[in-house]
Amino acid sequence: MGARIAYADVEVGTELPAQRFPVTRETLVRYAGASGDFNPIHWNERFAKEVDLPDVIAHGMFTMAEAARVVTDWTGDPGALVDYGVRFTKPVVVPDDGKGAEIEVSAKVAAKLDDDARTVRVDLTATSAGQKVLGMSRAVVRLA
């Protein structure tokens, strides 16, 4: 866990450290076991293609959680995340090629919301294979 970020030290436009998250078929199988989401679009290439997907895709909630890690790593406290929402815009396609996919996430402080509560809004950008995979990705964070 990193050091807690102080509200007074943060300005609108502050960029959080960008991160890249690898995603393989093994990652998806592990996530399916942890989440209980065994939908075959997340592990069965034949089934995914039968329902008009280009290949197996990552779970939306997995993608959302990986993006949130940029915020929780920055704050140093996962409990500082007060609110978080996204729109799923494109799936993260995970080929069975030994490499898989990668989710790239950047974020910046978009607004200081409440001086008394020490909350800020962080806007996130998540892409995979050059396509935006999350839209309207926003987190509200309570800082130290």
Beta-bridged to residue 107, according to DSSP, are 16, 124
Does residue 107 lie within any of the structural domains?
A: yes
What does the alpha-carbon distance between residue 26 and residue 9 come to, in Å, rounded to a whole number? 40
Does residue 117 lie within any of the structural domains?
A: yes
Does residue 1 lie within any of the structural domains?
A: no
**pTM score, two decimals?**
0.93
Does residue 12 lie within any of the structural domains?
A: yes
Q: Are 76 and 2 in contact, with CB atoms under 8 Å apart? A: yes
Strands (E), the chain: 15-23, 81-88, 101-114, 119-128, 131-142
Show the tokens assigned to 12. 């609108």
The CATH number of the domain holding residue 54 is 3.10.129.10
Does residue 2 lie within any of the structural domains?
A: no
Write the pLDDT tens digit of every residue in 10-58: 999 999 999 999 999 999 999 999 999 999 999 999 999 999 999 999 9
What whole-number percentage of the chain has pLDDT above 90? 97
Number of domains composing the chain: 1
Distances (CA, A) of 2 to 76, 84, 140: 4, 20, 18
Q: Are 5 and 118 in contact, with CB atoms under 8 Å apart? A: no
DSSP state of 100: -
Q: Which domain holds residue 101?
A: 7-142
Q: Which amino acid belongs to residue 54?
A: P
Q: Which residues contact 6 (CB under 8 A, 6 or more apart)?
A: 143, 144
Asked whether the predicted pLDDT for residue 3 surpasses 80, the reply is: no
What does the alpha-carbon distance between residue 118 and residue 141 come to, in Å, rounded to a whole number? 8
